[in-house]
């Protein structure tokens, strides 16, 4: 131990995972230019959201992510009790989000995805590769939370019924394929090609948008909106991604189309945050992580 490590405050596992989750949400919100979404330039296709609100919401969720990680440490295994703990903490987190934002839904999907992933990470800190964490999160998501309200009238539930697609719940239950199979590989490819970090993250977002049945887009813009999102994102990547001039031009076209349709890929944005979380997590525990 040297003088510097001696004075560094101890960080618990829950602190660290909550920091990673909130950082991922703030990095997602700040990333610009994102088509249809809130970013540093403005509110995208939203009238009730802005960057300050996204930041306030992200920060307000820190105690929820920490509590989920601590529940995982206490329970120590993937079982119904842990699923019901995180379900309750997640619902309390949603209430806190709504209190801080004055009733605006900023991060419902992110609480779900990052909550499951924080819990899954805390269950086994020796297995923090993205696929391993996503698999544990999927096993947890497959358990049926008996205390969850069965209303079936959320926007996601409505469009899943109408169009026969999989939404946020199934994305988690399948082990986050949009993150594991699309976003993380694209992030690595764009970084390796020298795209620069912001462009690589935008490319990762687009990779998610090429495939995802984003229920936010479906709710506002129907199947035409979803097809427009997916084909527009494919075109940007096929043209060389956001670091290329052709890709940037097509990204502007995609943004114009999304705004015309009032479509905002909020689900894809949540999964980009999940991507950034898993990307950082795989570098392992920080040195100052003290006793948990």
Ligand X SMILES: Nc1ncnc2[nH]cnc12
215 touches ligand LTSJ6FE6 by CB under 6 A: yes
| C-alpha closest to that of 212 among 113, 282, 88 | 113
Options 14, 109, 175, 177; binder of ligand LTSJ6FE6; rule CB under 6 A = 109
Q: What are residue 241's DSSP bridge partners?
A: none
Stretch that binds ligand LTSJ6FE6, among 71-79, 112-120, 198-206, 224-232 (CB under 6 A): 112-120
Query: 6's torsion region: left (phi>0), alpha (psi -120 to 50) or beta?
Result: alpha
Options 18, 20, 24, 49; binder of ligand X; rule CB under 6 A = 49
| C-alpha closest to that of 83 among 41, 43, 112 | 112
Nearer to ligand X, 45 or 121 (CB): 45
The DSSP H or E segment spanning 269 is helix 266-281
Q: ∠178-222-138 over CA atoms, to 5°?
A: 25
Contact partners, residue 247, CB within 8 Å, separation at least 6: 236, 237, 239, 240, 241
From the list ligand LTSJ6FE6, ligand X, none, pick the one residue 37 interacts with, judged by a Cβ distance below 5 to 8 Å according to partner type. Answer: ligand X
**121-180 residues near ligand X, rule: CB under 6 A:** none
258 touches ligand LTSJ6FE6 by CB under 6 A: no
Cα–Cα dist 169/79, whole Å: 18
Contacting positions for ligand X (CB under 6 A): 28-29, 37-38, 44, 46, 49, 54, 107, 110, 264, 266, 269-270
Residues making contact with ligand LTSJ6FE6 (CB under 6 A): 86-87, 90-91, 105-112, 115-116, 145, 148, 154-157, 167-169, 171, 212-216, 219-220, 264, 266-267, 270-271
């Amino acid at each position: 131990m040297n003088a510097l490590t001696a004075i560094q405050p101890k960080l618990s596992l829950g602190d660290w995972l909550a920091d990673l989750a909130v950082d991922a949400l703030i990095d997602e919100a700040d990333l610009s230019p994102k088509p249809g979404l809130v970013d540093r330039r403005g509110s995208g296709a939203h009238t009730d959201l802005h960057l300050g609100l996204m930041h306030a919401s992200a920060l307000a969720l820190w105690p929820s992510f920490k509590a989920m990680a601590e529940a995982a440490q206490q329970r120590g295994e993937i079982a119904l009790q842990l699923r019901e703990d995180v379900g309750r903490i997640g619902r309390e987190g949603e209430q806190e989000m709504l209190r801080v934002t004055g009733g605006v839904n900023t991060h419902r999907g992110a609480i779900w995805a990052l909550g499951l992933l924080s819990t899954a990470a805390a269950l086994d800190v020796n297995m923090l590769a993205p696929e391993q964490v996503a698999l544990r999160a999927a096993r947890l998501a497959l358990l049926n939370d008996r205390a969850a309200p069965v209303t079936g009238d959320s926007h996601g539930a409505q469009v899943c019924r109408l169009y026969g697609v999989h939404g946020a719940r199934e994305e988690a239950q399948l082990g986050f394929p949009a993150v594991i199979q699309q976003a993380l590989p694209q992030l690595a490819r764009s970084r390796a090609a020298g795209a620069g970090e912001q462009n690589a993250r935008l490319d990762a977002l687009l990779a998610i948008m090429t495939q995802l049945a984003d229920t936010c887009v479906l709710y506002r813009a129907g199947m035409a909106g979803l097809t427009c999102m997916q084909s527009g994102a494919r075109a940007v990547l096929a043209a060389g991604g956001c670091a290329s001039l052709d890709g940037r031009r097509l990204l502007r076209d995609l943004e114009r189309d999304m705004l015309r349709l009032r479509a905002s890929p909020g689900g894809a944005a949540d999964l980009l945050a999940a991507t950034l979380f898993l990307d950082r997590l795989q570098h392992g525990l920080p040195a100052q992580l003290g006793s948990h």
